[in-house]
Amino acid sequence: MKSAEDIESFLIQMEAQYESVGDDIWVVTDLGPEMVISIAGPVVVFRVKVLELDKVPQEQREALYSKLLEFNATEMIHGSYGLEGGAVVVTDALQLEHLDFNEFQATIDDVGMALTNHYRTLSALTA
């Protein structure tokens, strides 16, 4: 079974700038928006805060939620957008047991690509 040491090894192999902020929790700061990676039981969870909802005008929220659901259904293969503590987040999770470096890196790349591809649309809905 993979462990925290394997996750750190993957981050080192990617030459990522990261900080260990707790048991089995890392914050990666140089691969796009700040990403939190954590081990939660049998899975590795990847999480990025996209935006604070209090910065979205009330009249735009329904359109924002609709677009996030559309992205989840059509463009987010593994991960998804969600709401957490007053913020829009994107999350993804992988099984820890058989995790390999390519899968780990692909997940980080997929989340970054989604945020890049969706930035303009989401920005327009939050203005």
The CA-based angle 26-99-28, given to 5 degrees, is 20
- 0.85 surpassed by pTM: yes
Percent of the chain with pLDDT over 70: 100
For the structural domain made of 4-125, what CATH number should be given? 3.30.1460.10
Domain boundaries, the chain: 4-125
pLDDT of residue 49: 95
Give tens-digit pLDDT for 3-18. 999 999 999 999 999 9
Contacts of 15 (CB under 8 A, 6+ apart): none
